Amino acid sequence: MDQFTGKHILSVKQFDRDSIQTIFSTADMMLPYAKREKRTRVLDGAILGNMFFEASTRTRVSFGSAFNLLGGFVRETTGMATSALSKGESLYDTARVLSSYADVIAMRHPQSGSVSEFSQGSMVPVINGGDGANEHPTQALLDLYTIEKELASNLKTIDNMHIAMVGDLKYGRTVHSLSKLLANYDNITFSLISPKELAMPDEVISIIEDAGHRVIIHDQLEGNLDADILYLTRIQEERFDDPAEANLYRGQFRLNQQIYTQHCKSNTVIMHPLPRDSRSEANELDTDLNLNPNLAIFRQVENGVLIRMALFALTLGVSDQVQQHECAVNWYSNKSISK
Amino acid sequence: MDQFTGKHILSVKQFDRDSIQTIFSTADMMLPYAKREKRTRVLDGAILGNMFFEASTRTRVSFGSAFNLLGGFVRETTGMATSALSKGESLYDTARVLSSYADVIAMRHPQSGSVSEFSQGSMVPVINGGDGANEHPTQALLDLYTIEKELASNLKTIDNMHIAMVGDLKYGRTVHSLSKLLANYDNITFSLISPKELAMPDEVISIIEDAGHRVIIHDQLEGNLDADILYLTRIQEERFDDPAEANLYRGQFRLNQQIYTQHCKSNTVIMHPLPRDSRSEANELDTDLNLNPNLAIFRQVENGVLIRMALFALTLGVSDQVQQHECAVNWYSNKSISK
Amino acid sequence: MDQFTGKHILSVKQFDRDSIQTIFSTADMMLPYAKREKRTRVLDGAILGNMFFEASTRTRVSFGSAFNLLGGFVRETTGMATSALSKGESLYDTARVLSSYADVIAMRHPQSGSVSEFSQGSMVPVINGGDGANEHPTQALLDLYTIEKELASNLKTIDNMHIAMVGDLKYGRTVHSLSKLLANYDNITFSLISPKELAMPDEVISIIEDAGHRVIIHDQLEGNLDADILYLTRIQEERFDDPAEANLYRGQFRLNQQIYTQHCKSNTVIMHPLPRDSRSEANELDTDLNLNPNLAIFRQVENGVLIRMALFALTLGVSDQVQQHECAVNWYSNKSISK
């Protein structure tokens, strides 16, 4: 039993540096299970209510697999329930009902603030899997966890690092949440690289600067990429009155191996919240980077499973029992082979 | 092995007072598992085919979780299969196929009589999860079970009780099925309160009266609420030629704490099949009742899990083995804390 | 560990007679678990990613149940992911991501070649559950396995048999794949019975003939049905310019008990990939055949579960451990009773 037991995970605002560290050290402990070197049945018999009122295959399956990796069952829903919610049921009632069926709930919903409102009716811990434009705290945590691990292998730390955030910084929920989490650390340099129309909101910049970090704003990619971490996001054509303008920007904020070699450090880590748009007109993150060992985008995905396993173990109060329920993996897996 | 082993659960007509009692005592036995005081693995390895050919998130998840609570796996489908049924496959063939994949099937289908037809092709027990306007026997059983438990805590019984059914009694499948189950008991007073346009069908009234019960018909709420059980249902605007008329009635058949205090007994139990419409224009069951300890609507939901666990255990013939497969619950839960 | 461990199952072309025999003897071993005479937990804790990017209830549930029968968990998706793929993500990226969540993946996708492309990004074995008009290897294997078992009970073998394929032989993916598998065997007589417009493609006929088999082409049913195996497929009206012509053919390629008695051998085995169209205007395989013991269509379904169990056990390298993880079945089942 610790600070997370029985609690909801709703917002990045609820974390400080200590609680983040608790989550990360729990995630570290999950690695051998996710890599299939061994397995654990610590949540054998427990039920996750994986309530996705908005479609999101990868986030939904990531939550579900994380729970299975701890030995538990998953009940789920995909897409807006046409029945109850459209019949005028309140989120409070929905939560009272659905929490009768589960030990913990992961929830995504298109409406900002909905998951928090839902949590007030729930009898079990609720983990926010994304509530519209508002929050997606497990994505922010997996991004931060990836940064810490990638930097560690480069003998660096989040403190004193240089991160460049690139692309649509105005509407990108991911970079906002990550920035707020990073505000808990010390002496970070933020290079914010975007078209002027898609600049980071002042509110987020204030949070970063008030925490004592350094912010540099650019509107072009070249010459500004010598960061420790390069976090790219999508330039979306629907944000522009003139789609041709979007294509212009997409051309300017595109990364490929040639640009990397010319402008990045030799170990600049490349991150992206995925999916990356690989159509030729977008191609924001060229596939010629797939062989670059600093491309961390698929390690982000793997870290997402670890973070979600950690959050389940913590909210259900079993993080200290994971190892005592260990078993061997008897089937073939090459996941334990380092890539 | 008992009377339910290997049998289908299709209709409330198949139960008598004895068989109802068997289900209820089995449901009682399920309480500690649902409350997470302990767990059972009696159906470890068994497979539920949770075949919802019509969307119904809560009923589907309730069946699925009930099966998980007994230790079993769930395979499911949600929404009408566009493939096979639309290619002209008979329900008999569909049942032959799907019953190859499961040990028991829970099925919802929009077409009246479909589940019964399906059951004729199934090699495994089929539980009706609602077949259109026809039957929804697990809802009727959970309602009856709730009534028995709520009355017991008021030192009363189903025999000799007074139940008031309110709202749309014409189209409400729930009140029809519940009335048929209640016909198995003795000396009940039924107050049927509805707009004249939405009165209880004569066929159902005949069943009640032929069983020796007393029926009183009202068309207004006030003055007729001093029952032991108050079972409310929705007034639906689509039932009226003039929607304004529906709103008029909804205003008259609305319950809130003030009306409760003025017209009900101090321990009148409030029930509703859910979802309740909490939009201001409907508000059939005001949220100011949420603190009223006699509001049983969320206990109905919890009892639904117990009833479905009982039906799985009985149809699969393991009701006498549940306790011998018990394990401890090692994760955090506050469900065992009485509310 | 054998030849299938860690490998993808993508196409019928990857099998020869020996590897087919390995799959079939593994499938034989699965029978007591599928019949619920006992169960196995050999894949307890393993996760199947059941990725159906095209709806197919029965194939999806068959894969899922096969994995549950081996003790494993199933995470799944149904229908095209509107999110990632429509945002321009490559199948390679999708595979890298989804394979982080599973130990093995079964995948269906509407696009020809998609599953093979996907497999190149996957870190875990991928089993093709159907990729458009291209391949559906588990259907072909279950058909061949059914043929072998049905013939064996008639004291015959695939070598030297006579198979009649009937109906739409032009567009039927099933008969193409089955023919390619049969080319691995010796001295088979193929009667190909179809309207001229729906004749077997020359490419498939060449494969059969090049392997030394005998091909006879007919355009009517009567007089050509004295085969050991009769494999019927649907005549689809959308294949004809004039739907009336389709109805004409459907009338001529319809099987019922009277035609069977008159034209088939006493033990001709009747097969069909299902679903069969039981609407009166189609009625390709009359329900009056349901009592004919040679109607193997539902045994095909049961064999599909065995084949998929075998492929999971083989690709995950546990086929030699299945029995050591056996347990008793403690619930009611009549599946072990021979029908």
Please tell me if residue A325 touches chain C, with a CB cutoff of 8 Å.
no
Q: Which residues pair with C47 in a beta bridge?
A: C73
Please tell me if residue B240 touches chain C, with a CB cutoff of 8 Å.
no
Whole-number pLDDT of residue B337? 59
Q: DSSP letters along C173-234, please?
A: HHHHHHHHHHTTSSS-EEEEE--GGGPPPHHHHHHHHHTT-EEEEES-STT----SEEEE-P
Which of the following CATH numbers is that of domain A12-135+304-327: 3.40.50.1370, 3.30.750.80, 3.30.565.10, 3.30.365.10?
3.40.50.1370
Whole-number pLDDT of residue C1? 54
Q: How many CB pairs under 8 A join A and B?
A: 103
Between residues C336 and B120, the one the model is more confident about? B120
Q: Do B56 and A83 touch (CB under 8 A)?
A: yes
| Residues of chain A with C-beta less than 8 angstroms from the C-beta of B305 | 100-101
CB distance C74 to C98 below 8 Å: no
Residue A327: closest CA among chain C residues belongs to which residue?
A: C45
For chain C, the chains sharing at least 3 beta-carbon pairs closer than 8 angstroms are A, B
pLDDT category of residue C252 using cuts at 50, 70 and 90:
confident
pLDDT category of residue C277 using cuts at 50, 70 and 90:
confident
Mean pLDDT of C226-244: 86
pLDDT > 50? residue B339:
no
Note if the bond before C125 is cis, omega within 30 degrees: no
Reported ipTM: 0.96
Please list the pLDDT of chain A residue by residue as tens digits (339 residues): 579 999 999 999 999 999 999 999 999 999 999 999 999 999 999 999 999 999 899 999 999 999 999 999 999 998 775 555 567 889 999 999 999 999 999 999 999 999 999 999 999 999 999 999 899 999 999 999 999 999 999 999 999 999 999 999 998 889 999 999 999 999 999 999 999 989 999 999 999 999 999 999 999 988 899 999 999 998 877 777 787 877 777 778 889 999 999 999 999 999 999 999 888 877 889 999 999 999 999 999 999 999 999 999 999 999 999 999 999 999 999 886 644
Using the CB atoms, write b or e for C272-310: b if 16+ within 10 Å: bbbbbbbeeebbbbbeebeebebbbbbbbbbbbbbbbbb
Nearest 5 degrees, angle CA C71-CA A106-CA A94?
Answer: 110
Burial class (CB in 10 A: 0-12, 13-18, 19+), C40: buried
Using the CB atoms, write b or e for B119-153: b if 16+ within 10 Å: bebbbbbbbbbbbbebbbbbbbbbbbbbbbbbbee
CB distance B102 to C330 below 8 Å: no
Q: What pLDDT, in 10s, does the model give residues B314-328?
A: 999 999 999 999 999
What whole-number distance in Å separates Cα of residue A190 and Cα of residue C296?
68
Q: Using alpha carbons only, how large is chain A's radius of gyration in Å?
A: 20
Q: What pLDDT, in 10s, does the model give residues C12-30?
A: 999 999 999 999 999 999 9
Whole-number pLDDT of residue C339? 45
% of chain C beyond a pLDDT of 90: 82
Q: Which site among B54, B57, B254 would you substitute to test the A interface, given the most A Cβ atoms closer than 10 Å to its Cβ?
A: B57
Q: What pLDDT, in 10s, does the model give residues C31-42?
A: 999 999 999 999
What whole-number distance in Å separates Cα of residue C127 and Cα of residue C264?
37
pLDDT > 90? residue B244:
no
Those residues whose C-beta lies under 8 Å from the C-beta of residue B290, and which sit 6 or more positions away, are none
For residue B330, the tally of other CB atoms under 10 A from its CB is: 17
Same CATH fold assignment for domains C12-135+304-327 and C138-298: yes
Q: Say which amino acid occupies B14.
A: Q
- In chain A, where do the E strands start and end? 39-40, 47-52, 73-78, 104-109, 126-131, 162-166, 189-193, 214-218, 229-232, 269-271, 326-327
pLDDT category of residue B219 using cuts at 50, 70 and 90:
very high
Fold classification of B138-298 is Rossmann fold (3.40.50)
Whole-number pLDDT of residue B84? 55
Q: Mutual orientation of helices A91-98 and B297-315 as an angle, nearest 10°?
A: 30
What whole-number distance in Å separates Cα of residue B115 and Cα of residue B34?
28
Longest dimension (CA), chain B: 59
Q: DSSP letters along A150-206, please?
A: HHHHTT--STT-EEEEES-TTT-HHHHHHHHHHTTSSS-EEEEE--GGGPPPHHHHH
pLDDT > 60? residue C83:
no
| Residues of chain C with C-beta less than 8 angstroms from the C-beta of A55 | 81-83
CB distance C96 to A274 below 8 Å: no
CB distance B43 to B72 below 8 Å: yes
Q: Do B275 and A84 touch (CB under 8 A)?
A: yes
Mean pLDDT of C215-226: 93
Residue B102: closest CA among chain C residues belongs to which residue?
A: C65
User: Of B117, B128, B122, B123, whose CA–CA distance to B15 is shortest?
Assistant: B128
pLDDT > 80? residue B106:
yes
Percentage helix, strand, coil, to 5, in chain C?
40, 15, 45
Mean pLDDT of C153-160: 97
Q: Where are the domains of chain B?
A: 12-135+304-327, 138-298
Longest dimension (CA), chain C: 59
Q: Which site among A61, A73, A309, A331 would you substitute to test the C interface, given the most C Cβ atoms closer than 10 Å to its Cβ?
A: A331
Between residues A84 and B276, the one the model is more confident about? B276
Tokens of C275: 């679903």
Tokens of A251: 């051309």
| Residues of chain A with C-beta less than 8 angstroms from the C-beta of B31 | none
Q: How many CB pairs under 8 A join B and C?
A: 103
Nearest chain C Cα distance for residue B239, angstroms: 34
CB distance B100 to C64 below 8 Å: no
Mean pLDDT (chain C, rounded): 93
Whole-number pLDDT of residue A248? 76
What whole-number distance in Å separates Cα of residue B20 and Cα of residue B24?
6
| Residues of chain A with C-beta less than 8 angstroms from the C-beta of C1 | 332
Residue with tokens 């007589």: C189
| Residues of chain C with C-beta less than 8 angstroms from the C-beta of B92 | 287
| Residues of chain C with C-beta less than 8 angstroms from the C-beta of A71 | 45
Nearest chain B Cα distance for residue C295, angstroms: 13
Q: Do C89 and A41 touch (CB under 8 A)?
A: no
Whole-number pLDDT of residue C86? 64
Please tell me if residue B333 touches chain A, with a CB cutoff of 8 Å.
yes
pLDDT category of residue C245 using cuts at 50, 70 and 90:
confident
Residue with tokens 């993880």: C325
**Nearest Cβ partner for B332 among A92, A102, A317:** A317
User: Of B320, B317, B313, B307, whose CA–CA distance to B5 is shortest?
Assistant: B317
CA atoms within a 13 Å half-sphere pointing along the CA-CB vector of B26 = 29
Q: Do B301 and A97 touch (CB under 8 A)?
A: yes
Whole-number pLDDT of residue B338? 47
Q: Say which amino acid occupies A244.
A: A
User: Of A232, A303, A246, whose CA–CA distance to A62 is shortest?
Assistant: A303
**Nearest Cβ partner for A301 among C49, C77, C97:** C97
The model's pTM: 0.96
CB distance C38 to C326 below 8 Å: yes
Tokens of B317: 């013939």
pLDDT > 70? residue C337:
no
Residue with tokens 């679903």: C275
Whole-number pLDDT of residue A339? 45
What whole-number distance in Å separates Cα of residue A311 and Cα of residue A300?
16
Mean pLDDT (chain B, rounded): 93
Q: Do B55 and A83 touch (CB under 8 A)?
A: yes
pLDDT > 90? residue B120:
yes
